[in-house]
Chains A and B, each alone.
Chain A
């Protein structure tokens, strides 16, 4: 596979870092790929724009951070304002319509998905926002299979919540597929 550099950004509590760890872990444990995940620490990561970097590849990864992501996900306005300009030319920028108003054209595929709105309409619980986002992402970018993500979720999430996460992942994929043009 082509080396994919991703940046997930949003605010604390949206689960962007968890989503990054789940994605990278599923790539390593179930897809036999190499992945590295890092995240921003410190005051800027608390309350402000949190950020997590993931690199997924089939060859060794040395430098573990991402300067120019192929895929940039922004889940808040602040994160978008701060990071939109770093997306790699020809890359993919995913934002959520409820939280982000895009105001700048970038040299990348720019997709504004009603992720939050769909979750609230169909599931009613914002807690699965990050898993929904992962579903949308993997239907737009060839990274990992949904089953691999589910296997990771099975080890991390109480069984009572598994079905909701499975549904979020599937709905996310359906929404992503509609926007993948």
Chain B
């Protein structure tokens, strides 16, 4: 047996990947179905001289990781819907103050405390517009253990590259399911480390002055340089400003640094897409049911394929438009009332081709559910 093969839950995969990426500070408040992430990190982080703190609530958790990140650590918290709602204020602060962090939301049924133990993908829209004000976010997901590992590492890399929070949207099924994981060797995935300023101690450091390439070198807070960090609109010194041109420049920078780099952030899988007349679009655990349908129907000769989105925000409009160009039917498979359906409709020509195959009752969507909806869409009756 290879030492690198493990048979573990998706939540544990996320822990292994975060440690691989260099996580050394976690603050959180355990909540079903994300609890195993906190549980395993409470064991693993002290072993590598990292810090694990169980906080009093999710507001404190997100604030703790923001503070730790500023001092130079790779940080993460994990929660589910109700906790993610509480974290929205901190999320907005991290966006505005440009502080790298990773927030994991293992989704369960909502709204409110909803269905604690049931699967859902109802927080996709919240990840984008849960916090107020114009902004852009990076949100990603995965459907199997190997991809959960890869996307978690990618999340840390994107957070460091763009100095922004990255949200990982897993769900109850991927979080609790056990399957094989081959742990990648060190070095197999490139890691992005914190870009630190070369400005010497005692010399003026401008924390919010982008380099030519748009990146902002950081200085570990409490270290060599004194500077200001605020959630208010701010200038290049980090001090509050309501100067219209400063505010305009700041907001453009916050949105453009993400939306203009969509090509670097976007990850996806495609299956049987070459000549597909029916294209299923799915993500997270529901992509497994969709893939089951695609493989079965392909074996019978139907021209059907799956586009599995792994990066949800910024939404890959160009990719979806291109992949769906020749499709007669486009069917979005998700466990909510159409939160990815809407951007797909915006992305493609002739949006009347776009249909929804969903389940919102806390039950994991099955291949049979999808097949029944396909029969209606394709005009074959029940």
Contacts and interface: CB of A to CB of B under 8 A. Distances in A.
A28 B176 contact: no
A61 B366 CA distance: 13
B7 A64 contact: no
Contacts, number: 61
B295 interface: yes
B177 A38 contact: yes
Given A36-B178, A38-B177, A42-B116, A30 B288 contact: no
A21 interface: yes
Contacts of A65: 364, 366
Contacts of A38: 173, 176-178
B248 interface: no
B291 A42 contact: no
Pick from A37, A41, A43, A67 the residue with the most CB of B within 10 Å.
A41
A64 B288 contact: yes
Task: Give the interface SS of chain A, mostly helix, strand, loop or mixed.
Answer: mixed
B366 A24 contact: no
B40 interface: no
Interface string B171-186: 0110011111000000
Contact of B7 (A24, A63, A67): A24
A21 B366 contact: no
B5 A64 contact: no
Contacts of A34: 179-180
Contact of B5 (A29, A61, A63): A29
B289 A61 contact: no
B179 A63 contact: no
A49 to B, nearest CB: 15
B366 A67 contact: yes
A62 B288 contact: yes
Contacts of B295: 62
- Residue from A43, A45, A63 having most chain B Cβ neighbours under 10 A: A63
B261 interface: no
B180 A41 contact: no
Contacts of A36: 177-179
Given A36-B177, A36-B178, A29 B7 contact: yes
A39 interface: yes
B7 A35 contact: yes
B117 interface: yes
Nearest to B179: A36
A41 B176 contact: yes
Given A28-B7, A29-B1, A64-B288, A39 B176 contact: yes
A25 interface: yes
Please report whether the interface of chain B is mostly helix, strand, loop or mixed according to DSSP. mixed
Contacts of A63: 288-289, 292, 366-367
A28 B118 CA distance: 27
Among B5, B178, B288: residue with most chain A CB under 10 A: B178
Contact of B117 (A30, A41, A62): A41
Contacts of A45: 117
B117 A42 contact: yes
Interface string B267-289: 00000000000000000010011
A24 B364 CA distance: 21
B42 to A, nearest CB: 20
B180 A35 contact: yes
Nearest to A148: B1
Contacts of B7: 21, 24-25, 28-29, 35, 37
B212 to A, nearest CB: 45
Interface string A137-178: 000000000000000000000000000000000000000000
Interface string B19-37: 0000000000000110000
Nearest to B295: A62
Nearest to B289: A63
B5 A28 contact: yes
Given A24-B7, A62-B295, A41 B172 contact: yes
A35 B181 CA distance: 11
Given A38-B173, A42-B118, A64 B179 contact: yes
A30 B1 contact: yes
Contacts of A21: 7, 178
5 contacts: A29-B1, A29-B7, A30-B1, A36-B178, A38-B173
6 A-B pairs closest in CB distance:
A42-B117, A62-B292, A41-B117, A25-B7, A63-B292, A37-B178
